[in-house]
Every structure is written in structure tokens, then in C-alpha cells.
Amino acid sequence: MMHRFALSMAFALSFAAPFQAQAIASPRPAVSLIHGNYCGPGNNAPAAPVDALDAACARHDACTPDGGLATKSCNLRLQRDAEAIARDPRQTDDLRAMAGLVSAGASMMLSSREPEAPRDHQVGQPVKTWASYGR
């Protein structure tokens, strides 16, 4: 059991090493894309998307703040768009498989909270101010 774990960790680290080497050698931030110019952490902006899936990832990047999390609606849109591409018989099998992977990944992405709409209080009811909570 321990041997299998050690072997799988060595295998995983062998994939991480080239990315770390690129980060040290290049003045540009490391980008770990899984497809096209926009699918994965980071992007190659202002390059054009290479296909429909890459365009969906570019839209997701556009609604994600730098260094922050996308909103739930932004992640759901990526999931929905990628799922539509995965089901589209006009797309190549490789693209459909990658779109399925992106859709599954989008369903598991952490998201920031959506800004709440202001709530209307009942007419005639006093509105509590911050100072009234201390009394």
C-alpha cells in the first residue's frame, strides 16, 4: 500500500516539475492550461479562443476577478456551456471529451458569494440601526 502511494506521488510530482521550471525561467506568470488559451488556471490573453470550449473558458475568465473566485452564476454558466459542447455531435470526440471534463470541473469550483439585493423593510416598521443592537 505504501509503495503504491509513493509511486503515485512520484508520478504526480514528475508532472509538476516542468511547470515549476517554467515559472523560474520565465518573467511571465506560469499558466497551467488544459485546453486552448483560456481553459485552466490563468490564460494567454489577448490571444483569441481556439474553439467553442475555449470561448466558454474565456467568458468565465472575464467574470472572474484577478486573484479571486468567480461567482456561482459565472461557474454555472461555464458548466452549462461546456455541457452543451460535450453533447454537440458536430464537435470532435476529443473536444467533446475535454468539454465534459471542464463541465465536471466547473461543477466543483469554489465560488464567491453573490452580492445580496437590498431588502425592503415593512412600511411603518422602525428600521434598526447599528447603534440599536447594543442596547
pLDDT of residue 15 exceeding 50, the answer is no
Residue 133 inside a domain? The answer is: no
pLDDT of residue 111 exceeding 80, the answer is yes
Residue 97 shares a structural domain with residue 58: yes
Q: How many domains does the chain have?
A: 2
Residue 87 shares a structural domain with residue 50: yes
Q: Identify the DSSP state of 64.
A: S
pLDDT of residue 130 exceeding 60, the answer is no
Residue 55 shares a structural domain with residue 76: yes
Q: What's the domain range around 108? A: 33-114
pLDDT digits (tens, 9 = 90+) for 54-106: 999 999 999 999 888 999 999 999 999 999 999 999 999 999 999 999 999 99
Residue 123 inside a domain? The answer is: no
Residue 37 shares a structural domain with residue 62: yes
Cell triple for residue 85? Answer: 459542447
CA distances from 119 to 2, 63, 99, 116, 122 (A): 56, 25, 39, 9, 10
Residue 42 shares a structural domain with residue 73: yes
Read off the pTM: 0.63
Residue 106 shares a structural domain with residue 54: yes
- The predicted pLDDT at position 67 comes to 84
